[in-house]
Amino acid sequence: MNPVSEEIDLSQSFKAYDVRGIVGQSLNAEAVEAIGAAFVDILGLSGDTVLVGGDMRPSSAEFSEAFARGATYRGANVVMLGQISTDELYFASGQLDAAGVVFTASHNPAQYNGIKMSKAGALPISSDTGLFEIRDLAQQYLDEGLPVSGDAPQGSVARRDVLADYSGYLRSLVDLSAIRPLKIVVDAGNGMGGLTTPAVLGDAVLPGLPLDIVPLYFELDGTFPNHPANPLEPENLRDLQAAVLEHGADLGLAFDGDADRCFVIDERGLPLSPSAITALVAVREIARVQAAGEASPVVIHNLITSKAVPEFVTRAGGTPVMTRVGHSFIKAEMATQGAAFGGEHSAHYYFRDFYNADTGMLAAMHVLAALGGQELPLSELGAEYEPYVATGEINSEVQDKAGATARVVAHFEGQPVEIFTMDGTTIAAADGSWWINLRPSNTEPYLRFNGEGASAEVIEPIRDAVLAIVRQEQPTD
């Protein structure tokens, strides 16, 4: 490999939790080959198995092969998994107890690709656990070329399809065989949900379930010809909402590009918040593990999920534990606490029985089981878990994020509020009627606002006042 450091600066694509860059600009095959070599060297994987897969993006197959070249050159035995969702990687990493990577840029546009990495057992790799060391060594390999391997044997390459095992494992965790018949619309957004949905919920791999699936955009196409594979943006749910109404469906599911997140639409075409899904699944998981003899199961939630989540967890006999936003924090806390389940406002759902990793498909199966196990429509079932009114996340472009936050704190001085700074700044009414959180983005000039109140009349004036303070023009020197 020839040095190409003039072309690629890996600091542009290595983020706190994964790798994400523009193909041909901040990420190319030579860089990926160097990353594969560094991955093996930093994690000490020479002689061990390394799993490699990719999503449906045009560059994922090429990048998978390049990573395998670098990894085998440094002595790893690579198992190529082919096209996979991100949670398929986590399954394989946990089931086979092997480190691995999946090439994906999740919900980002077509010109992007990236890498999500896992240690053996589906343990996350972040900037705190080796990601930046991998970056720095890979940059060195780009600058200087890979070291001569000497007499050390190069690793082997094998191929394995894990889709059937993944599907069977998920079905073993949630039994959908006896639910009432449901019609569901699934929008895969041309992402990997187009592969995993027919395998897990349909009859492509296993016997059929009492589900009539109406597919939207199941064709694997990393150019995203229909809409971006980012269900967090309301405009990307419009086709699904229309199809749910058109087909008289019981619910709709939307997956992001790498299918590790799932969003839920009720029979009226209205979304259920990820906090409501977190509460619903938490209650089910608490009941399941209590039936197995566990006294007070722990459920993790980040600090900007609805306060209904810890309330439902406590009511069900569980122990809620709050953590910062971000999958590495959640997964670390899941392991430390031995938690049964964890959920985030962004529709990431984590399961102890899924190696503490996140899987949108398993969360969707819990929703289907809950809906199909009784006769109420999803709108009525879901309303129970959404007693409060949330603002959603609102971004403000602010250069002086700390200054803007300080102005908001000053605004509430002398009022009956509590303030804490676990992740950004949270201000909560002493009577529990509302809370807000301001969190600075680490990578963009944004201050992220989230809030919730007992009613729209309570939270909306607070939202408007805070955003006005955040966005007010400040004098420049």
Active site residues: 106
Query: What is the chain's percent helix, strand, coil content, to nearest 5?
Result: 40, 25, 40
- Measured CA to CA, the distance from residue 355 to residue 183 in angstroms comes to 30
- Measured CA to CA, the distance from residue 287 to residue 402 in angstroms comes to 43
- Measured CA to CA, the distance from residue 311 to residue 314 in angstroms comes to 5
CA 161 to chain centre: 23
Quote the strand ranges of 324-429, DSSP E: 341-343, 349-351, 357-358, 389-390, 394-397, 417-420, 425-429
- Measured CA to CA, the distance from residue 46 to residue 372 in angstroms comes to 48
| CB of 42 closer than 8 Å to CB of 133 | yes
**In what helix (H) or strand (E) does residue 194 lie, and over which residues does it extend?**
helix 193-200
Query: Which residues contact residue 21 at a Cβ distance below 8 angstroms, ignoring those fewer than 6 apart?
Result: 12, 13, 27, 112, 113, 114
